[in-house]
Amino acid sequence: MDGQAIKDTLGKNIKLLRARRGLSQADLAESADISITFLSNIERGIKFPQPNMLSKIAIALGVEVNELFLENLAANDHKELLNHVSEDLAKNVNLAMVEVFKRYLG
């Protein structure tokens, strides 16, 4: 992975994790003690933070620093969402089937 790809992955992951936690850029910037402009530049893959800033961002997001660099973080997020939807669907289908059987079979 080249330098720009690393910046892009980092930025996308920070944005994804921030969104998962319902944080605005202002919220995260304040928690990590960095400027909103700098955070925006990180999320867009324009800037790369120093190690101490990476640590502050990770702490503010409640993750380990290495998680900020995972290439498949968004893919895992989609898999997790699909699993939850699938489980909810199966549970609701089962409940509906029970109601149908109660109604028609007594």
Per the CB < 8 A criterion, the answer to whether 12 and 2 are in contact is: no
What is residue 33's DSSP assignment? T
Closest residue by Cα to residue 68 from 52, 57, 79, 76:
57
* pLDDT surpasses 80 at 1: no
* pLDDT surpasses 80 at 81: no
Q: What is the mean pLDDT of the segment spanning 52-71? A: 94
Band (pLDDT 50/70/90 cuts) for residue 92 is confident
Identify the residue with better confidence: 61 or 91: 61
Band (pLDDT 50/70/90 cuts) for residue 84 is low
* Stated pTM of the model: 0.69
DSSP state string for 51-80: HHHHHHHHHHHTS-GGGGG-TTHHHHHHHH
Q: What is the domain partition of the chain in residue ranges?
A: 1-70, 72-106
- CATH superfamily ID and name for 1-70: lambda repressor-like DNA-binding domains (1.10.260.40)
* pLDDT surpasses 90 at 83: no
